[in-house]
Structure 1
C-alpha cells in the first residue's frame, strides 16, 4: 500500500485498551408485532479481528446491526462497547464513542461532491461562528483545522483509490464506488470498531477484491470489523471467526472450518441434511 494507507491507519490514533473484546452483545431481542426478529442474541467481537455474521435471508442480521448501533431500541438485552453499556443510546452517541457502521444501501449525499461528502464526516469540527469571524486567533484555529482535515481526507481518498473522483457528484458514482466512499467516510470518523452491512452487495468482482484488500490492511493496522454478508464463501475465506444466525437466534459460532461442518448450519442454509 502507499503512504496514504499510513495516514488512513495509525497516524494520530489513540486506541482504548479497555478489553480484548470491545463489543459484547448479551440477550439482545426485538419484536415487531407478532414477529420476533432477534431472539436473545449473544456474542462477542475480539479486538483487531474480522468477524463474520452470516445467515439466510430474514435471519435477523441487519436488525441486530440496527440494535447495536442505536437505529432500533431492543426489547431486551444489552450492548456493551469498551466496557460501557451503550444500550438505547442515540446513533450519534454510539458513533462518537468509536462504534461506526455502514449501510447495505450507501447513504451518500448525492447532490454533493465526493470531497464535500468526506468533509462532512469527521466529528468535533469547530465550524463557523460569529465570534470566530471577529477574533483572529479563532479564525486561524478554524483554518488550521480545515487544512489538517483536508489533508486527511485526501489521504483516505488515495487509500481507497477514489481521489480522482473527488470533484464528482456522489449521485453519479457506480454502486461499487459508493461503497468505497461510504467506507472512506466511516474511516474518517476515526472509529475503533466498524460494522459493515453487506459492503459487497452490487459490487463487481474487481471492486470487491479492492474492498477486501482495504479491509484486511485496516484490520492488520488494528481496526476491528463485524461484517454482515450473504456470501458464505466470502466470509469463510476472509474471517477468522464466524457467527451464524437463523430465525433471530445465534445458531452457532466458531472458526470457518467448524462452522462449515456444523449440521445445523447445513440444514439452515440448504433445508436438509447433506
Structure 2
C-alpha cells in the first residue's frame, strides 16, 4: 500500500503513526514461541563467543541445543539467564526483554536453569534444599513470632510447601533420600535433586545444561522419563547435551550452533543429514 497522501489531502491532517506501538508490536514474541533470541552477540576481550545467534523455542517442546566444543552453547545459556550481559541483540521471554535483568528476576519470571555441575547446598538435607526453593515465602520475623494471625500464615504456607516438596521427591523417586545431606549424594542423584529444586520454583521453562553428564544409565533413563512427563504437563525445555543419541531420540526440534552462530535447525532426520552440521562436527557420530 502506498504511503503517498491522496491528491488534495493536507499531510498535516493524516492520522499520526504511533512509532512506539509499532516498535512494541514488532518486538512481541509470536504466540507459541515463549523464548526468542535475536542477533545476540557476546565478546570476551578479543574472543567472540556469540556472533549474531538467532532462534526460538516452541512452547511445550523439548528443544535440543547442540554444537561442537566452543560453539557458544554455555555462553548462550549464561546470556539467557542473566549470568552474562550480551553486547548486542535481544532475548525475550513472552515478549519481555530479559537483557538487563538479574538472574533471580529471570527465575521469578518463570525461566530457570540447571548447571553442568550441580549446585546443591551440600550441608543441608535433600528436603531442606527443596524447602528453600519456592518463590514468595513469607518467612519468619520477630513480629510474626508474637502475632498469632501472622504466625498462622507462616505455618500454613510451610505446611503447603512441605507437602509440595514430598510430591516432588516422590515424582523424582528420591523421597528415600529426603533426610540425606546433599553433599553425600552421587552425581546422578545430585542432578535429580537439582532438577527437582528447579521445579519447586514453579517455572514455565527449564534450561538443562548437560543434565546427564556423569549420570549412570539407570538414573539417566529416570531423568529423561521425568523430562518427558513434565513436558506432557506443559513445561518447556531447552536442552544442552553432548550425547547425540540422547538429543536425536528425545528432542523434537534441534538447534545447531557453530562458532557463535546458529548453523542449522530442524528435526533429528534433518539435522543428521545436514552436510554443514556433519562438517562442523568433523565426522562425529550424530546418532545415526
Give TM-score scaled by structure 1 length. Answer: 0.92
Out of 43, 55, 75, the position equivalent to 1:43 is 55
Task: From the CA coordinates, give the structure whose radius of gyration is larger.
Answer: 2
Other-structure match for 2:72: 60
Structure 1 unmatched runs, 5+: 1-17
Please state how far the C-alpha of 1:133 moved relative to its aligned partner: 1.1
Q: C-alpha offsets along residues 208-248 of structure 1, whole Å, 9 cap, x if unaligned? A: 00000000010011000000011111101100000000111
Aligned alpha-carbon RMSD (Å): 1.3
Out of 194, 199, 203, the position equivalent to 1:182 is 194
Q: C-alpha offsets along residues 28-69 of structure 1, whole Å, 9 cap, x if unaligned? A: 110011110111110000100000000111111000000000
- Bigger relative contact order, structure 1 or 2, given CA contacts below 8 A and separation 6+? 1
Aligned residues: 256
Other-structure match for 2:176: 164
Counterpart mapping for 1:186-225 below 5 A? 186-225=198-237
Q: Secondary structure at the match of 1:93?
A: helix
Structure 2 unmatched runs, 5+: 1-29
1:102 & 1:19 partners in 2: Cα distance? 26
Q: Secondary structure at the match of 1:95?
A: helix
Please state how far the C-alpha of 1:19 moved relative to its aligned partner: 2.7
Please state how far the C-alpha of 1:271 moved relative to its aligned partner: 5.6
Other-structure match for 2:253: 241
1:236 & 1:196 partners in 2: Cα distance? 16
1:78 & 1:225 partners in 2: Cα distance? 20
Q: Which moved more, 1:177-186 or 1:122-131?
A: 122-131
- The answer (yes or no) to whether the contact 1:19–1:83 under 8 Å persists in 2 is no
- The answer (yes or no) to whether the contact 1:74–1:88 under 8 Å persists in 2 is no
